[in-house]
């Protein structure tokens, strides 16, 4: 697999959310607003990419017997740095994401990519893999969040996480037609199931056969 294919794999074929079903705890819990999705996605991209790079750089000097504890220490350190930065510069986002920021440490996407890819590949390839998988996770999270926010409130909005200044707000559904259920866990599971079914169809549909020219 070349580097471009490796980068694109995280979007459809190996999408962490809809193809591998990893990190669903945070996805279903915090996917209520676009702000939450972008904030969590940015944190995961940063931690995943940096942990991949560090673990790839250490792969030849890390003994096999202690590699998993080493990975966890690296990931936990990066997550703590991300948590402190969010708490310092984006307080509202920190409050909204709550316990799910430190839980990035046990996110299966990050530890899984460390073990399956970064520990066996170069620093550059591991960085590309981290960015691709992180973006795939973020796109999935944003997709669920936008659908849930629109159906439950009728609007989609986004504000600057550092200044809380509203960047845009658009009403797509009249207030009388919103479905409050989509702000609840039931709506999260339903939205995820419908999108996952569509992604699975795209991943597994048979390729169209080209007609033979007689």
Q: What is the mean pLDDT of the chain?
A: 90
What are 145-158's pLDDT values in tens digits?
999 999 999 999 99
What are 121-175's pLDDT values in tens digits?
999 999 999 999 999 999 999 999 999 999 999 999 999 999 889 999 999 999 9
Give domain status of residue 154, yes or no. yes
At 208, is the pLDDT very low, low, confident or very high (cuts 50, 70, 90)? Answer: low
129 by Cβ neighbours in 10 Å (0-12 / 13-18 / 19+) ranks as buried
Residue 164's domain spans which residues? Answer: 3-200
At 67, is the pLDDT very low, low, confident or very high (cuts 50, 70, 90)? Answer: very high
- Check if the beta carbon of residue 78 is closer than 8 Å to that of residue 53: no
Give domain status of residue 206, yes or no. no
Sign of CA dihedral 195, 196, 201, 202: positive
Instruction: Provide the domain count of the chain.
Output: 1
Return the ∠ at Cα 89 (arms to 166 and 99), rounded to 5°: 95
Give domain status of residue 151, yes or no. yes
Give domain status of residue 209, yes or no. no
Instruction: Tell me the C-alpha to C-alpha distance, in Å, between residue 214 and each of 179, 210, 211.
Output: 55, 12, 9
Q: pLDDT: is 126 or 212 the higher one?
A: 126
């Amino acid at each position: 697999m070349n580097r471009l294919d490796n980068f694109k794999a995280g979007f459809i074929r190996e999408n962490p959310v809809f193809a591998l079903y990893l990190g669903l705890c945070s996805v279903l819990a915090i996917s209520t607003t676009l702000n939450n999705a972008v904030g969590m996605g940015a944190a995961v991209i940063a931690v995943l990419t940096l942990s991949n790079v560090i673990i790839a750089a250490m792969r030849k000097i890390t003994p096999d017997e202690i590699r998993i504890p080493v990975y966890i220490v690296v990931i936990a350190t990066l997550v703590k740095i991300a948590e402190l930065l969010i708490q310092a510069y984006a307080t509202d986002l920190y409050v909204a994401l709550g316990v799910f920021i430190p839980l990035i440490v046990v996110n299966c996407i990050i530890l899984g990519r460390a073990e399956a890819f970064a520990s066996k590949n170069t620093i550059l390839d591991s960085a590309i893999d981290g960015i691709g998988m992180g973006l795939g996770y973020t796109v999935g999270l944003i997709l669920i969040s936008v659908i849930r926010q629109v159906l439950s409130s009728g609007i989609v909005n986004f504000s600057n996480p550092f200044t809380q200044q509203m960047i845009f707000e658009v009403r797509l559904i009249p207030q009388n037609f919103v479905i409050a259920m989509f702000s609840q866990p039931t709506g999260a599971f339903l939205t995820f199931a419908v999108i996952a079914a569509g992604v699975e169809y795209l991943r597994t549909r048979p390729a169209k056969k080209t007609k033979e020219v007689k």
